[in-house]
Amino acid sequence: MSTDEINQSEDVSLENDAAIEAFFAPSSQTRIAEDFKSGYVAIVGRPNVGKSTLMNHLLGQKLSITSRKPQTTRHRIHGILSNHEMQAVFVDTPGIHRNEVRAINERMNKAAVSALVDVDLVLFVVDSDQWRDDDLLTLQKLGETDLTVVLVINKADTLKDKGTLLPLIETFHESFDFADIVPVSALKNQNLDRLQEVIASHLPVASPIYDTEQITDRSERFLASEIIREKIMRSAGDEVPYDLTVQIDEFKDEPAHTDAKTGRPRKACTFIDATIYVERSGQKAIVIGDKGQRIKQVGMDARKDMEQLFDKKIMLTLWVKVKRGWSDDERALTSLGY
């Protein structure tokens, strides 16, 4: 094979590699199309309708925590999807719900509604076979804006009679002036390519907002606290529903080095100390579990997810403390990042 043929072969290989990288993890060198589009896309809906799952699967990366519990998401989280045609900055929001008596619920609703300010597009996520009062509440909030709204009918794969989907879409068309209606299954990655096309069609022509390598604007400290909270919510079931939060006390990166005492090489590692706050002593016992087994398992599961997300070794230490009334204390909520 001649030198020119070898160079041609290498060029083709490099082009294929670049295309793969641009799809899965676009670099800052990704060629930007002249009609490149970018913008903010708010994902809204009632609690436990699949908003976080949808964002995670659109990104191909788990950023927002999920569980079967309503109101799992408490904060606005930006997830950034970039390719050579567009950059969509998704804003995952707490579920909009009727106000409860606690201050944390009021703050969650405010965070969700405030996400509608200065976005270019809204994805209104509903369950394919469950329409509730909180769905109507969300729709009312959207009706007070002049935003472009795409209806995303999630869990469409669970419909027992597939023939009901078209009448369902027609019913939604009559209820609100949606720019598009897209049925999907976020969990099974069904029709998400179509949803991405619809999103791109409604974004303005503009330069990327973030570096195309970036997948979120949240810090590793924040993501670590959310991962720990998810593992507790999944492990403790209904025993500790919402009366817990997690605070990162220390997040220390230690580079690779030689141990001064043993002379042995030590790999790079991040040491994380976190405190889990609950409201009652009985809840503390539940989180710790019999002979500390639950908190041990929570730590193992959280560390595994962190190492996968952060791509580095993690040493995690967890503490459980009682902080009475934190979820209804404005000062405590502020200090804990709400």
Which residues carry a binding-site annotation for GTP? Answer: 45-52, 92-96, 154-157
Those residues whose C-beta lies under 8 Å from the C-beta of residue 211, and which sit 6 or more positions away, are 28
Query: What are the C-alpha distances in Å from 114 to residues 75, 89, 111, 118, 121?
Result: 11, 16, 5, 9, 14
Q: Residues of 161-195 as b/e, b for ≥16 C-beta within 10 angstroms?
A: eeeeeeebbeebeeeeebebbbbbbbbeebbbeeb
pTM score of the predicted model: 0.70
User: In the CATH scheme, what architecture does the domain 220-335 have?
Assistant: 2-Layer Sandwich (3.30)
pLDDT of residue 84: 87
- Over range 10-36, report the average pLDDT: 51
Model confidence at 8, in pLDDT bands (50, 70, 90)?
very low
The pLDDT mean for the chain works out to: 79
CATH topology assigned to domain 31-202: Rossmann fold (3.40.50)
pLDDT of residue 171: 79
Q: With beta carbons less than 8 A apart as the criterion, state whether 83 and 310 touch.
A: no
Tens digit of each residue's pLDDT (9 = 90 or more) over 173-216: 787 899 999 999 998 999 999 999 999 999 999 999 999 889 99
Distance CA(142)–CA(147), nearest Å, equals 8
Domain boundaries, the chain: 31-202, 220-335
Which residues carry a binding-site annotation? Answer: 45-52, 92-96, 154-157
Model confidence at 13, in pLDDT bands (50, 70, 90)?
very low
Distance CA(268)–CA(111), nearest Å, equals 37
